[in-house]
Structure 1
Amino acid sequence: MSKFLNTKWLMFLFFLGAPALVTAQQVTGVVKDDSGALPGVSVVVKGTSSGTTTDFDGKYSINASSGAVLVFSYVGYETQENTVSGNKMNVIMQSGVALDAVVLTGNRSKPRTILDSPVPIDNIGLDEMRSTGQPTIDKMLTYKVPSFNSTTQAVSDATAHFDPADLRGLGPSRTLVLVNGKRKNQSALVYINDTPGKGEVGVDLKSIPAAAIERIEVLRDGASAQYGSDAIAGVINMVLKKNVEYTTVNVNSGVTTEGDGFNFGVDLNTGLTGENGGYLNITAGYYEQEKTNRPGSPGSDALIGVEANDPTWGAWLADNPDLGMNVGQPELQKIDLFFNAGIPFKNDSGEFYSFGGFTSRQGTSFALYRAPYWVGDPYNLLHEAGSDYNGFQPTFETDVMDNNLTAGVKWKLFNFDVDFSGTYGRNRIDYDVNNTLNPDLGASSPTEFAVGGYTFSNTLANLDFSRNLGQLNIAFGAEIKQENFSARAGDAASYFNPTGNGNAQSFPGLQPSNAVRADRHNYGVYGDLEWEPTEDLLIGGAIRYEDFSDFGDNVSWKVSGRYSLGDKGAIRASYSTGFRAPSLHQIYLSNVQTLVSGGSISNQGTFSNVDPVIREDLGVPQLTAETSKNISAGITYKIKPNLSVSADFYNVKVDDRVLFTGEIGFDGDDSSMNPVESVLVANSITSLKFFVNAVSTNTSGVDLVVNYTNIELGEGILNAALAANFNETTIKGKIDAPALFEANGYDIFNRKEQARITSSRPKSKVLLGLDYDLNKWNFILNNTYFGEVTWQHGSSPALDQTFAGKVITDLIVGYEFSEKLSGNISVNNLLNVYPDELDAKGDVVTDLGGRFKYPWEVNQFGFNGTVLNASLAFKF
């Protein structure tokens, strides 16, 4: 065994490419409560950010010098502090408060418990995330954090492969995502389809495997003064696993009760630990899912004007009442490889660390089915000669690659903790449109087209200093960042369109005029101060200056305070200003998109913000930063040792939000041509869109969390949690349209587009979770209420539709077969609940002529129905 361990250690050193410096003391032990071992307990060296968690058997291993203080904390238990006097330390935890979990997000000076934090933070462990029964991080968070939303999108090109996610209904662009406290790169995609988050850019949360994560910290407060751009709604910090005792393999699979949507996943997490405290954690995973299909069945095609009794096509409509549609989750295959590593320095004076990962994901979604009366196939490209022609189903296929790498050094300098790091992250997406044709190419048309793609990357360098001075904690530092965005043209055949009837059907390729390579850089400096004049009072402040090469600078600041109510809880409040830099994607994106408008198929052009047509001919101003003001106030209170409650009110005002305009087309007056129409004619398009700072919003809400833990019920223990979010977003004042558009009577952001900001996400969400442990059995019952959402018609309020709130019930049953083998069965959406069905009310564009049965422009929880899952976990 010792030879094997030595071999593992040599492999570890070879992987990192650096020698072990000098052996430091490694402290190991087991953490238990009255009923046995406690997995998932947080163990942190007090006054540092060095920490780990206990494994399945309650075991831990951490590097700490003699005399250091270890802080043991876990939801539902009292925090304990023990001084290191040897290399063994076993701990017995006592039942306590659910607010004592240690978190690192939200301040840079030292770890704090949720109770001590002056701002609201959720701390979610891997087991809690997996207890949702959901397959990916974005879906797990949706069913664990009331203010977080992400739902599957359908028939929305590449958006269907990313699923926009946001906090507090403020849009994907305004949530900052970190990995181990370092900024995660955004995706390469702008969500340009008619979905929640339209016109915005987010982080590709599907690129982070759950198996690599120890816990997720969700800061529900503005934090631009601490972290920079994008942190208006809050911060999500993914903390990766470090030391693990066992290699763990998880295998899971599931299928809907309709018999579609089969999914299968397997992941492996393992680690190497050196005698001097060095560590290497590796995660590898594979996941695949098949499509689901929940289309409407109109039996006629009002969108194209073909009735059910049409003399030519009536028989086809009778045989294909759903018009050939595929409406549901896309097909997906994904592989992940992540690592997290560190080597301590001599005498525990610091460490070299590195972490990162690579994800490759291929997906297939579906466009509108091209019925035979819509698009012909006269050259038998998509059907055999002599056979009946039934139309064709274009597929939209994506190849997504996301990779990130961070390397850094932590050490002591004049009693300051210093962290110097470099981070590189990239997201690349390539598109193919297959099983389609370009009518203008006739018999020579391909049936598969590479239609282009996008890449976004950033490179960062961070230097951070922090120090504890007794009652005073100080932190300061600097960041330099370089961002790059590129768009690649597709095959010439994909956009060949001399007669106006061409292009690859469903998605014209990006043209050479849409290709771009753009970059910018910025630097930021910040200072962070926390003062505890008494044991009960904490006062904090932060300020940050940022300067961007493309639009200028910004100063953000924050003040916060917390008054302790002893061991009963705390009163807390904060006020901050914030900002979000317009993304490079929003500045430079341009394309031509096929869409349905006014009952006909047309081509819509998106113009970049630097295009002379937009800036000079149409008078659209340069994009600049959004700014925000965020106020939060709340209370945490322990009614009894195992019953706690927290409530936080917030108000976020965002000025000059970057919006993606609605379709701007011909005004219907044939007697003259205005400047906008001249642009349309010159570019052979029927409508145009662009990005502009043009709207200000006000978001108010309340977050509520109640935890009741360690309730003795029969021979088992029951834990109950209630969490809720109530919010409302309104638009302040009028839309600030450029003067030329206002003078010519254009509504650049109509009622339908406004609803994407104000009512496309639930204004209320309530989670009630019950977790019952009985010997080797574990029973979890989750109920999630998704509040109502409203779709608004572009111009006619009579055509609006509100979709009622619904409760989704999930049941998970787990069993521990042995110390090293466990399994569970879950039923997601146990009662087979679906959203309200669409009522087009005479507007055929709303449901694309009946092709959609359930809402697609507003979305609460998707429409897959009941999903059955089973999983097994092995340890060795």
Structure 2
Amino acid sequence: MFLGVSSIIEAQEVSGTVTDDSGPLPGVSVIVKGTSTGTTTDFDGNYSVSASSGSTLVFSYVGYDSQEIVVSGNKVNVTMKAGVALDAVVLTGNRAKPRTILDSPVPIDNIGLEEMQKTGQPTVDKMLTYKVPSFNSTTQSISDATAHFDPADLRGLGPSRTLVLVNGKRKNQSALVYINDTPGKGEVGVDLKSIPAAAIERVEVLRDGASAQYGSDAIAGVINMVLKKNVKYTSVNVKSGITTEGDGFNYGIDLNTGLTGENGGYLNITAGYYEQEKTNRPGSPGSDVLFGVAADDPTWGSWLAENPELGMNVGQPELKKLDLFFNAGIPFKNNSGEFYTFGGVTTRQGKSFALYRAPYWVGDPHNLLHEAGTDYQGFQPTFETDVLDNNLTAGVKWKMLNFDVDLSGTYGRNRIDYEVNNTLNIDLGANSPTEFNVGGYTFSNTLANLDFSRSLGQVNIAFGAEVKNENFSARAGDPASYFNPTGNGGAQSFPGLQPSNAVRADRNNYGVYGDLEWEPTEELLIGGAIRYEDFSDFGDNVSWKVSGRYSLGDKGAIRASYSTGFRAPSLHQIYLSNVQTLVSGGSISNQGTFNNVDPIIREDLGVPQLTAETSQNLSAGITYKIKPNLSVSADFYNVKVDDRVLFTGEIGTDGDDSTTNPVEQVLLDNSITTLKFFVNAVNTNTSGVDLVVNYTNIGLGDGMLNATLAANFNETTIEGEIDTPELLAQNGYDIFNRKEQSRITSSRPKSKVLLGLDYDLNKWNFILNNTYFGEVSWQHANNGLNGADLGNGPLPTDDADFDQTFAGKVITDLIIGYEFNQKLSGTISVNNLLDVYPDEIDTKGDFVTDLGGRFRYPWEVNQFGFNGTVINASLAFKF
């Protein structure tokens, strides 16, 4: 049982060089099998590790077959061969010792930067969408700040339930709550656009509940961004692209370089710039049913004829992004430990567009947005964001009593400032500005982590603690942005945050955990973990996990796990409040969001304090190598989430004019037409299957073909009744109607299948990716069953069906690369080669579905966006 200890006692220094066909290979993991002792190769492929004679060294690196060499002297040189990803060593989910994908008790994807770049996508979130079947992120439109963040989730469980790490340390969440009608509405995620792909060596995706190991948010799984350390070259990548419609032009440049010291120290630096222009794919109704303006209207018919698209801009926003990241480490003398630090800063400016204010909608009597003496054509408000995301981690690793010890501190912040421009505030008359600072949000966290791990032969143990402080603040806008004495809504399209919405809130929590793995035989692994967390604002939680793996030798493994988990309600969800101007129910309305600590919500309406969501996660699967270059993995999962935090639907009047109920009184007192709030009110059940098949190094003509088939099939259902607060239930309110429920159950594809073919022929590389996005469904709030009046008379109640299912579609991407020499290569990619678009919206008589024809393609549910074909080209230099 204590083989690891005896090995250390008899250890000697074993050194050597690791190479591949092109020369020295830096960054290779070298582990003494059965222990936690290990290192990585330096810039020249050299390594040195303490190992006893007769022990086994395991050499592993992403994209290469792992090799096991028995130590018989003090010199071991190795040549690595390209292999399958199942042999890659991963760190995520394995506190005690590194493991390969093959012998891990839980499903993990290990995706190298080259694999991500071969998707042809510009940002990390889009790369993962086209690489990991259970991951989804799509560009949003006409959704205020959400259009600049793009909600992303794993296994359809929402952005809040995926934990994101950088080098194994928790990444801060964004400052934004997705409050518009998009997937992930009411949730908070990590700003994945703030992590540049050029800085990443690989991404590890743990597809299993991991709250017992990592704490809150890890219900759906964990995404760990591993930054580059040692690199062979300084690399520069220049890229540009445009849609076949002639819009959406983009260009970017990134640089990655590094220094490696003779003692194994390293410094890696990444700098990048990216810019994209807008795309526009609106509907063209030629009339405006929202305002009752027909195409042949005697006053506005000529304007409608000239502007059949009603002035809309529906598509991806404009974007400018600048990144600077680093990753550094300095070893102690005699390799007894290491000081490390990493972090980065991203600044991003974006511009999206609100609903066009047609001249019959909003007037401009003082000529603020058009020249005097010219025909007034209306105006297009812009929603502009300035995002700053920065994070920094510093830590020390060393040996103490044969334990590997890691002490670190992390600070992360995401700040977003809003401007609404090319608009006006009607109530200010001729004194109205046309540009408004409407406020903003900031979220930050500060963490300290202390982790211990040790291998004792058959037993691997790990334990540690985390202390965390979180801060959330909301800043009021300029007074002109929210000035609203007559109820016209302040600045058109987005009234500014008011002083009453401003807040500074924080909380503290601490957690302690223990992790144990036991390998009684070479085949059998049994693991367990437990974690206790205590939060200053709502209390404590205990999560636990058990897992097991039965090895099939070098062929594969059978694995299973069961765990409980939790997610603390974000500070944003507790403290967010604002007023939005929306088109709702066929009319313009002011919608108020009240935070969970507001007396109006807690006392007047009886909404309970937010508390943690809890979960139960079951996973079982198999990995198997049919032959050395053909592998398959299949995993079933079931995730139950209780007391899920939701953002209610619009709550307004009950239609009874004879009396005023408590909700209506709140609306009157606050000059709003509807209200919303956050509440723990729903239980969900998600089941699914992940499937991955890799077939590599297939000889085809003079070249080599690699093929990958990956798929995810999932379904989420709502269990039981919506837990409506008593006072609202007594007054007949439905706080989470069919439309809001569909955002949980059907706004993301229930199936996604990826088929990738990668063919190398001399200096050429040909990639053909086909991605099937399954159907999504949009559900009407009541489907006409109540004959709701949407501003154009009551809807029919007989056989009314306003729901729509948007069919599954296949997106084909073609990427062609050519290596001019070892230092220069070029790539041309055609994303969405066949110019596939989602099904168009069929209103079925309900003009709210497409806002009177303004939207041609689905916007409240989204499969893959609607930009059409995009052609990109890039050049990569190494020196």
Q: 2:25, 2:45 within 8 Å by CA — same for their partners in 1? A: no
> Aligned letter for 1:788?
E
**C-alpha distance in 2 between matches for 1:474 and 1:678:** 59
Q: Equivalent residues in 2 for 1:310-325 (5 A)?
A: 310-325=297-312
Indicate the residue corresponding to 2:502 in structure 1: 515
Q: Equivalent residues in 2 for 1:754-765 (5 A)?
A: 754-765=741-752
Out of 767, 772, 779, the residue aligned to residue 766 of structure 2 is: 779
Are positions 1:673 and 2:673 aligned together? no
Q: Equivalent residues in 2 for 1:657-736 (5 A)?
A: 657-736=644-723
Q: 2:14, 2:76 within 8 Å by CA — same for their partners in 1? A: no
Out of 140, 154, 157, the residue aligned to residue 153 of structure 1 is: 140
1:116-158 residue CA offsets vs partner (Å, 9 max, x unmatched): 1000000000000000000000000000000000000000000
Are positions 1:239 and 2:216 aligned together? no
**C-alpha distance in 2 between matches for 1:795 and 1:690:** 20
Indicate the residue corresponding to 1:18 in structure 2: none
Are positions 1:865 and 2:868 aligned together? yes
Out of 804, 813, 816, the residue aligned to residue 807 of structure 2 is: 804
Q: 2:548, 2:559 within 8 Å by CA — same for their partners in 1? A: yes
**C-alpha distance in 1 between matches for 2:15 and 2:297:** 80
**C-alpha distance in 2 between matches for 1:263 and 1:40:** 33
Out of 374, 385, 388, the residue aligned to residue 398 of structure 1 is: 385
User: Comparing 747-756 with 99-108, which one deviates more in the overlay?
Assistant: 99-108
Indicate the residue corresponding to 1:380 in structure 2: 367
Q: Equivalent residues in 2 for 1:334-413 (5 A)?
A: 334-413=321-400
Q: 2:779, 2:803 within 8 Å by CA — same for their partners in 1? A: yes
Structure 2 counterpart SS, 1:576: strand
* Deviation, structure 1 residue 567: 1.6
1:239-284 residue CA offsets vs partner (Å, 9 max, x unmatched): 0000112111011110000000011010000001111111100000
Indicate the residue corresponding to 1:837 in structure 2: 840
**C-alpha distance in 2 between matches for 1:177 and 1:32:** 32
* Deviation, structure 1 residue 31: 2.5
Q: 1:52, 1:242 within 8 Å by CA — same for their partners in 2? A: no
**C-alpha distance in 2 between matches for 1:334 and 1:61:** 37
**C-alpha distance in 2 between matches for 1:487 and 1:84:** 60
Q: 2:394, 2:408 within 8 Å by CA — same for their partners in 1? A: yes
Q: 2:18, 2:28 within 8 Å by CA — same for their partners in 1? A: no
Indicate the residue corresponding to 1:20 in structure 2: none
Q: 1:242, 1:280 within 8 Å by CA — same for their partners in 2? A: yes
Indicate the residue corresponding to 1:166 in structure 2: 153
1:277/1:389 CA distance change after superposition, 3 Å: same
Indicate the residue corresponding to 2:477 in structure 1: 490
**C-alpha distance in 2 between matches for 1:296 and 1:49:** 61
* Deviation, structure 1 residue 821: 0.6
1:91-125 residue CA offsets vs partner (Å, 9 max, x unmatched): 23356654111100011011100011000000000
Q: 2:26, 2:231 within 8 Å by CA — same for their partners in 1? A: no
Q: 2:646, 2:679 within 8 Å by CA — same for their partners in 1? A: yes
Indicate the residue corresponding to 2:20 in structure 1: 32
Q: 2:29, 2:40 within 8 Å by CA — same for their partners in 1? A: yes
Q: Percent identity?
A: 85
**Structure 1 unaligned blocks of 5 or more:** 1-23
Q: Which runs of 4+ in 1 moved over 2 A?
A: 24-33, 36-55, 59-78, 81-98
**Structure 2 unaligned blocks of 5 or more:** 1-11, 784-799
Q: 1:25, 1:277 within 8 Å by CA — same for their partners in 2? A: no
> Aligned letter for 1:578?
G
Q: 1:64, 1:84 within 8 Å by CA — same for their partners in 2? A: no
* Deviation, structure 1 residue 352: 0.4
Indicate the residue corresponding to 1:188 in structure 2: 175
Structure 2 counterpart SS, 1:160: helix
Q: 2:27, 2:229 within 8 Å by CA — same for their partners in 1? A: no
Q: Equivalent residues in 2 for 1:425-504 (5 A)?
A: 425-504=412-491
Q: 1:269, 1:282 within 8 Å by CA — same for their partners in 2? A: yes
Structure 2 counterpart SS, 1:371: coil
1:396/1:42 CA distance change after superposition, 3 Å: same
**C-alpha distance in 2 between matches for 1:635 and 1:648:** 7
Structure 2 counterpart SS, 1:798: coil
Aligned residues: 848
1:777/1:37 CA distance change after superposition, 3 Å: farther
Structure 2 counterpart SS, 1:226: helix
* Deviation, structure 1 residue 71: 3.1
**C-alpha distance in 2 between matches for 1:25 and 1:593:** 66
Are positions 1:306 and 2:293 aligned together? yes
Q: Equivalent residues in 2 for 1:406-425 (5 A)?
A: 406-425=393-412
Structure 2 counterpart SS, 1:364: strand
TM-score (norm 2): 0.94
Structure 1 counterpart SS, 2:97: coil
Are positions 1:43 and 2:29 aligned together? yes
Out of 831, 843, 859, the residue aligned to residue 856 of structure 1 is: 859
Indicate the residue corresponding to 1:224 in structure 2: 211
1:77/1:251 CA distance change after superposition, 3 Å: closer
1:88/1:133 CA distance change after superposition, 3 Å: farther
**C-alpha distance in 1 between matches for 2:138 and 2:412:** 25
Indicate the residue corresponding to 2:776 in structure 1: 789
Indicate the residue corresponding to 1:747 in structure 2: 734
Q: 2:777, 2:861 within 8 Å by CA — same for their partners in 1? A: yes
Structure 1 counterpart SS, 2:663: helix
> Aligned letter for 2:29?
V
1:321-374 residue CA offsets vs partner (Å, 9 max, x unmatched): 000000000000000000000000111010000000000000000000000110
Indicate the residue corresponding to 2:795 in structure 1: none
Taking only aligned residues, the RMSD between alpha carbons, in angstroms, comes to 1.8
Out of 524, 527, 551, the residue aligned to residue 540 of structure 1 is: 527
Out of 38, 56, 60, the residue aligned to residue 45 of structure 2 is: 60
> Aligned letter for 1:248?
S
Q: 1:287, 1:334 within 8 Å by CA — same for their partners in 2? A: yes
Structure 2 counterpart SS, 1:310: coil
Are positions 1:847 and 2:850 aligned together? yes
**C-alpha distance in 2 between matches for 1:337 and 1:76:** 27
> Aligned letter for 1:798?
D
> Aligned letter for 1:781?
L
**C-alpha distance in 1 between matches for 2:391 and 2:335:** 28
Indicate the residue corresponding to 2:97 in structure 1: 110
**C-alpha distance in 2 between matches for 1:315 and 1:235:** 55
Indicate the residue corresponding to 1:10 in structure 2: none
Q: 1:142, 1:150 within 8 Å by CA — same for their partners in 2? A: yes
* Deviation, structure 1 residue 50: 6.2
Out of 819, 822, 825, the residue aligned to residue 819 of structure 1 is: 822
Structure 2 counterpart SS, 1:665: coil
Out of 550, 556, 559, the residue aligned to residue 537 of structure 2 is: 550
1:301-323 residue CA offsets vs partner (Å, 9 max, x unmatched): 01111111110000000000000
Indicate the residue corresponding to 2:561 in structure 1: 574
Indicate the residue corresponding to 2:5 in structure 1: none
Q: 1:65, 1:84 within 8 Å by CA — same for their partners in 2? A: no
1:744-791 residue CA offsets vs partner (Å, 9 max, x unmatched): 000000000000000000000000000011111111100000000000
TM-score (norm 1): 0.95
Structure 2 counterpart SS, 1:443: helix
Q: 1:26, 1:276 within 8 Å by CA — same for their partners in 2? A: no
1:3-55 residue CA offsets vs partner (Å, 9 max, x unmatched): xxxxxxxxxxxxxxxxxxxxx9996745326xx56979843444458665899
Out of 131, 135, 160, the residue aligned to residue 118 of structure 2 is: 131
Q: 2:199, 2:227 within 8 Å by CA — same for their partners in 1? A: yes
Structure 2 counterpart SS, 1:196: coil
1:70/1:329 CA distance change after superposition, 3 Å: farther
* Deviation, structure 1 residue 823: 1.0
> Aligned letter for 1:809?
T
Q: 2:590, 2:674 within 8 Å by CA — same for their partners in 1? A: yes
1:779/1:88 CA distance change after superposition, 3 Å: farther
Q: 1:283, 1:338 within 8 Å by CA — same for their partners in 2? A: yes
Q: 1:49, 1:111 within 8 Å by CA — same for their partners in 2? A: no
> Aligned letter for 2:45?
Y
**C-alpha distance in 2 between matches for 1:87 and 1:587:** 60
**C-alpha distance in 1 between matches for 2:319 and 2:14:** 43
